[in-house]
Each structure stands twice: as C-alpha cells, then as structure tokens.
Structure 1
C-alpha cells in the first residue's frame, strides 16, 4: 500500500514539474528578452559614452565568467540550488533598476558590477535543475527541449514587444522595470520547483523500501579531496565537451557582433535584417521543441555535435561570401543546428557525466570556460577581423567549426 501511494505521489510530482519549469524559463527569458536589446540605450541615456558602453558590457561578461563557477559550487555545496537561484534573481531585479538612478561612469560601473555578479548564476542554474529533473525516472514527462524551447519563444516575444513598450513610454528605462518584474516572478517560480531527487547508483539487488527522507549521497573521497572544479576538469570527456562547445558556440561571436553591420553595408534593409534575425531564433525553437531529441536518439551526443559543426562550416562560409538575402534565409535556419542542437547535446553529456551533486558546478564551468570564455575572446578578435576583411571574418568562424568536427565525433555520453 505504501509503495502504491509513493508511486502515485511520484507520478503526480512528475506531472507537476513540467508547468513549473515552463513558468521559470518563460519568466526568465521574458526578462532577458526585454532587457538585452535596450541595455546599451539605457547606459547611453544615463551618460555613458560609446566607449564606456562597450567597457561596461565587456566587464559584465568577464565578471560573469569568474562568478559562474563560484555560484555553481555554492549551489552544489549547500544542496539548495533553487534557493540560490531565487536569491540571485531577486538580487538581479534589485540591481537592474538601479541603472535608472545611476548617472556617470563611476555610478554605472558600481551598478554594472553588482548586476553582473547577481546574474552570474541565472545562466547555468536553471539548466542544471532542468537537466537533472529530466533525468529522474519519476519525471520522464519533463522534456528539457520543450522547456528550453519555451524560453527561446518567450525571448522572441519579449524582444519584439519591448520596442513597442519603449515607444509607448518614451524612454528605454521602462525595460528595467519590465526585466525586474519578470525576474521577481521567476524567483517565485524557482522556489515552486519540485525538490530534486537524490540520484543513487542502481543497486545490484532489490533494496529495502527507502525512508521518507533520503540524505544526499556522499561524494567519493577523491572528488572531495580534489574539489568540485578540479574533479570535473580531471574528466577527459568533460574537457573535450568544453572545447567542442567553445569552438562551435564561440563561432557565433562574429555573427552576434558584426553580421548586422555587414548586412547594412551590403544594402540589406532593416525590415529584412529583422526577419533574418527572427528566423534564426525561430529555428532554435523548432529544434528545442521538435527535432532535438530525435537527433540525439539517432546520432548520439557526438554525432549531433558533429552535425552542428558541419552546419557551422556551411553557414559561416556562405555568409563570408556576402550571400544574397535569398541564400541567407536557409543559412539562418541552420542556427537551429549550430546553436540549439549543440546545446542539447552538451546537456545530454552533462546529465550523464557530472557526478551527483556537481550539476551546478558542471553547468557553470561549461558556460564560463566553454561558451563564455571562447565568445568573449572571439568578440574582441572579431572587431579586428571586421575592420580588416569585413564579412570575410566569417571564414575564421567556419574554420573553428571545422576544428570542432573531429573532436565532436569522439564525444560520448557515458552510459546511464
């Protein structure tokens, strides 16, 4: 009877997890979607010069690279990733509205530091929680691709409507309050998430019924001695994943920084540019919702990453040739592979690779050492490339994906 009740409770918990994660990711990406396009305009309105805007944005990226692994380790050591995430979201909401009161470089710098440190855990922790929840047998109804796709769709909606909100308010400062409101709601959603289950090794014999509360499984002695960061970096597959993710995701740096400038110089109008940008995010949503799990099931994590790398070689090569709009449309649709498919493959590897209770640290290290560090360095180099060769800088991004291709083929997700 007790087993029946426990099974019914677990099934109910599995059904309850999906809407709660959908709420969290929707609020989170709505917040990012309203802020990201207009933060430079906010900084300029508050007195920052163009050079200072670049410095503030670059400084924020650098601080997050350092703070993300620390935040992930805190979440893992405390065993309370939901609480850490909620506190970070509330701190981010409080700090972002301070931009509206900051005037001049020194004040903006202080607010920028606080905001960067507060937002550092907001990237990796939701992914860590969702990936772990999707791996729990009782929550097979939770599909990470659906959750992440809902976030991407929310980002599109927010980015589109934020412009109308700015026009109606007559000032970009309105996005600060919209972002803060979304993040406060996301903090509440984080606290409503089901408690993560303890993932125990599979027993060789049928175990006795578990007590109502099971303490977290202790980490191996070698892991405790090495520390969580060193323990992960000692895993060859984790190092390979960081390198593959850095090369493929980092190859988007030139696109993010200079594709629009190049398209404008080529005479492509703002309407067409907006459509091209939306197509890439729409393709990302399709992969997260519909194609990602099928690709992983058919090709595995390594094959999916290799497909993403090959798509990157094709996409960036075409853009380096100053392709017409008719060819740019299918190249933008490849964003679903170069970004979303590779991201889902990386999450699949981490779900099996990271030792229990190191999920937050693993996500933070991948985001900082892989995607974040490569992107930050390549953004700096992309400026010099664009000054020298214009859209020809995409050839360098194609070469990075070419380097990632053989490495990706050797990537394997350890068996469950």
Structure 2
C-alpha cells in the first residue's frame, strides 16, 4: 500500500481547506462583500459538491480508473483559482468560485474510493491515512494566521494557490488502485437508494453539514467581532483539528468496539452542544476551546464513520458514485443550504439565534440516525 503517497494528497488537500475555510470569510469581508454575499459565496463553494462529484464519479465508474480524473481535476482547480486575483464584484467572484470549486470538489470522492481500493480488507486503517489531512489543516491554519498578522488578508489566496499546486503534484505520485472484480449480481444504485436506511444515512449527513453552515461561513468573523486577534482565531481552528487527529488515530479501534451507528449518534448529540456553546458564549475563550474540541466529533468522528458506512452501503461498481452521493448530499446540499440560510439569519436574527437553529438541525439529524440507520446491524 502506498501509504505516504496517499497521505500526501490528504495533507495538501485538507491543508488547502485549512487555508480557505477559516479565513475566506474575512478575506471576502475585507474586499467589501456583505454578510449576505459572503453566505452566498461560501454556499457556491459547497454547492458545486452537489454536481461535480456525481459527474466525475459516473465517469470514473464507467472508465474503471480514478487517478487520471483526480490528476486532471486537481490541475484545473489550481488554474481556475488564479482568476480570484482579478475577479471584481459579486458576479465575477461567484463565477470564479463556481469554476475552481467544481474541479476541486471533484477530486476528493474519487481519491477516497482509490484509497479504499489500496486498503483492500484493511478498511479500518483509512483513518490513519486521513489524519495527515488534519495535520495539513493545522499547519495551514497556523501559517495563514501568522501571515495575516504581518501581511494582511492578501496572504490567504496566495497560500491556497500554493497548496492547490501541492495537491496536483501529490496526485502524480499515487498509483491506480487494484482493479475490483464486480459481481454480476451487484445491486443497482437506484435499488440501493430505495432502501430507507440508506436514505436516512444520506439525509443525516445533509443535516450534519447544514448545521455547520454558520460555523464555516461566519465563525472567524464572529470571533473577530468579539475581540479575538488573528493568532487566537487561527489557534482555535488549529486546536479543533489537533483534537481531531487523536480521533483519527484511534478511529479503527472505535469502529471495532462501538460500530458506526453508535458513533454517529454520539456525534449528533455533541454537535447540538457545540453550536449552543458557540452561540451563547463566544466571548469566553475557555468555552470556545471546549466547543472547538468537539470538532473532533462533529467532523472527524462523523466523517470517518460515514465514509465507513458509505463503503459498505455502496459495493462494487456503485462505490465511486456512492462516495460521490454522500459528498453531494452532505457537503454539497447540506453545506450550501446551511451557508445560504446562515447568511440570511445572520443579518436578520443575529449570531446567537443562528447557532441555536444550527443545534436544532443537528438534533433532527440525530433522530434520523436513531430511527433508521443500521438498526439491528453494526458495521
């Protein structure tokens, strides 16, 4: 198994996420965009996950090869991102974000499927590779935080571009996974999607990411308005992902002991607590440290358990499209819907009420898991 070559992709990919998500709202705010516009632009970043993974997933499943698609998508995302530096106004910035995020969001689901093909029967070891994405995220958050303090927000797109190039270079070293022999009696994707437990699984992923909408779009802005400096903001984001690394290190054992269903249920309970803590106690640093530590559950543990379930729910030729559907439903529909809604709520009801509503969305997702996902069975 090409462990370090796979790990390098996750390192750069989630490093680019670490440079983008915590600081993109602040960068857009400095360029004169309103809260509503920022919500719309962040929603675009996430909305392309609805279409892009499915288009590229269909192509990969049809061709039976994933790495050429991952390499092409990674290269085109870096090229398209160059237009950020010259985009002027909401319409131009929106168009640029549609272009680069369409390609950027195409690569991860196919790399997830390629990683599992390299893992073979050792699927529980996925988390030990994915943790390098968390390490990349932490380093990028720290680098940009220091850069902002000395150079301002102009450093944000420069670091993002450099990391996009790193993503593309890392894909050149990853070999194609082992070919999978698909049984003729493998279920159809349409048949799988008629199963209530799979519908509930996808809907719960949508609701979990929808509950993160205000967090991704406005948390850094909320912190800055409460008096936190650039290093403190970066430190809180880095702390969240540092705790997440510990979860990834022990995730294969947790899946063996508790199973994906119980882990998912716990993450929704902790998501409710997290959004309430952020909304009510933004000015209390110790509470924010605790709330950010819960990122290990609401993103790290949730994502690892969900990817594990998606691998089992979508076998054979449905694997690429299944991973793409999970990404589209959760990060695409859920993330975009959450960002759009939070942009409206932020300007009309305020930050605290917005995070209370995010907690309600997370509670609804937990009810779906409790009622339908893998009852009486455990992966």
TM-score range, shorter chain: 0.7 to 0.9
**Farther-moved stretch of structure 1 (114-123 vs 50-59):** 50-59
Please say if 1:401 is aligned against 2:358: no
* CA drift at 1:287: 0.8
2:276 paired with 1:314: no
Q: 1:396/1:105 Cα in 2 relative to 1: closer, same or farther (>3 Å)? A: closer
Does residue 61 of structure 2 align to residue 76 of structure 1? yes
CA pair 415-319 structure 1, distance change in 2 beyond 3 A: closer
Q: 2:215 aligns with which of 226, 245, 255?
A: 255
CA distance in 2: counterparts of 1:69 and 1:119, whole angstroms: 13
Identify the residue that residue 7 of structure 1 maps to in structure 2. none
- Paired position in structure 2 for 1:193: 175
| Rounded Cα–Cα distance in structure 2 between residues aligned with 1:159 and 1:257 | 16
Distance 1:111 1:326 in 2: 38
Change beyond 3 A, Cα 1:120–1:397: same
Stretches of structure 2 that go unaligned for 5 or more consecutive residues are: none
Residues 164 and 319 of structure 1: CA distance in aligned 2, closer, same or farther (over 3 Å): closer
Aligned equivalent of 1:8: none
Aligned length: 372
Using a 3 Å threshold, how does the CA distance of structure 1 residues 36 and 380 change in structure 2: closer, same or farther? Answer: closer
Separation of aligned partners in 2, 1:412 and 1:221: 20
TM-score between the two structures when normalised by the length of structure 1: 0.78
Report what 1:305 is aligned to: 264
**Structure number with bigger Rg:** 1
Contact 1:301 1:411 in 2 (8 A): no
What secondary structure is seen at the aligned counterpart in 2 of 1:193? coil
Evaluate the alpha carbon distance shift between residue 84 and residue 309 of structure 1 in structure 2; reply closer, same or farther with a 3 A threshold: same
SS in 1 for 2:300: helix
Distance 1:329 1:165, change over 3 A: closer
1:262-291 deviation per Cα after TM superposition (whole angstroms, max 9, x unaligned):
44444455544333222211111211123x
* Contact 2:145–2:230 under 8 Å retained in 1: no
1:326-364 Cα deviation digits (max 9, x unpaired): 233222211111111111111111121102022221111
Structure-2-length-normalised TM-score: 0.85
Alignment of 1:344-359 (within 5 A): 344-359=304-319
Aligned counterparts of 2:124 and 2:264: Cα–Cα separation in 1:
23
* Separation in structure 2 between the aligned mates of residue 151 and residue 59 of structure 1, nearest angstrom: 23
Structure 1 residues 232 and 77: alpha-carbon distance in aligned structure 2, compared to 1, 3 A threshold = farther
Q: How does 1:283-302 map to 2 (within 5 A)?
A: 283-290=243-250, 292-302=251-261
Is residue 30–residue 182 contact of structure 1 (8 Å, CA) maintained in 2? no
Determine if contact 1:65/1:372 at 8 Å carries over to the other structure: yes
Map of 1:228-377 to 2, 5 A cutoff?
A: 228=189, 230-290=190-250, 292-322=251-281, 324-377=284-337
How far off is 1:405 after superposition? 2.6
- Larger relative contact order, structure 1 or 2 (CA cutoff 8 Å, min sep 6): 2
Counterpart CA distance in 1 for 2:49 and 2:301 is: 24
- 1:371–1:102 Cα change, 3 Å: closer
Per-residue deviation, 1:398: 2.0
Match of 1:175 among 156, 159, 165: 159
Which SS does the other structure have where 1:357 is aligned?
helix
Residues 1:151 and 2:136 aligned together: no
State the 1:305 CA deviation.
Answer: 0.4
Give 5+ residue unaligned stretches, structure 1: 1-15, 199-215
Measured in 1, the distance between the counterparts of 2:209 and 2:71 equals 27
Q: Which is further off, 161-170 or 246-255?
A: 161-170
Q: Give the deviation of 1:366 after TM superposition.
A: 0.9
State how far apart, in whole Å, the 1-side matches of 2:206 and 2:37 are: 27
Among residues 207, 214, 217, which one is paired with 2:182 in the alignment? 217
1:368-392, CA deviations, whole angstroms, 9 ceiling, x for partnerless residues?
A: 1223212211222223333314313
Deviations 1:208-252 (A, max 9, x none): xxxxxxxx32554862xxxx4x34422332211111222223212
Farther-moved stretch of structure 1 (17-26 vs 157-166) = 157-166
Q: State the superposition RMSD in angstroms.
A: 3.2
Distance 1:63 1:246 in 2: 14
Query: Relative to structure 1, is the Cα distance of residues 165 and 278 closer, same or farther in structure 2, using a 3 angstrom cutoff?
Result: closer
Corresponding residue for residue 28 of structure 1: 13
Contact 1:132 1:351 in 2 (8 A): no
